Structure 1
């Protein structure tokens, strides 16, 4: 049964910041809305999604490496202010 997921297994995604794999539930989905990256915590917004750990360190790495441009297959730069607010919290 190699290469197959077990029934009930949680899907994994890769954080675009630190490049580590984690359970989809542990990562924050991000989509592009206009020229900004916006958080999609419910995972229901349309379009291509990228995933990042909800930590400032991973967000900073993703911005520094221009990972969002590659993940969304689009030229940037993207405004990440709303995303930063969601990661940093109130």
Structure 2
């Protein structure tokens, strides 16, 4: 290490960095949702304190779909077999609805009118 610089995706060390298992983007834990496996289900760990191995996911249904398609939950959480993501999907849909008043991806778009 020369002059405190590091190699890799993150150029400056500003705290812990986690990887979203859906899109594989590295970012701060505050921008991600921690999830854990409990009784065959993937459960959101909002307080980031539930016991067990955790994985990280953006608050985005697209990242959830990518993680499901790639079967990333069982690998990241080191669980045999498939996991039920219904609770996680419900949580993400609720967060999207609360954040904007309507589900993500369905926000009203403003049309721009040509003033001439």
TM-score, normalised on structure 1? 0.90
3-state SS in 1 of match to 2:15 = coil
- Please give the alpha-carbon distance, in whole angstroms, between the structure 2 residues aligned to 1:10 and 1:57: 26
Gaps of 5+ in 1: none
Q: Distance in 2 between matches of 1:70 and 1:87?
A: 21
Higher relative contact order (CA 8 A, sep 6+): 1
2:70 aligned residue (65, 73, 76):
65
Task: Give the deviation of 1:73 after TM superposition.
Answer: 1.4
User: Structure 2: which 5+ residue stretches go unaligned?
Assistant: 7-11, 98-116
Hey, what does 1:23 align to over in structure 2?
28
The aligned counterpart of 1:2 is 5
| RMSD between superposed Cα atoms in Å | 1.6
Larger Rg: 2
Q: Which residue of 1 aligns with 2:80?
A: 75
Runs of 4+ off more than 6 Å = none
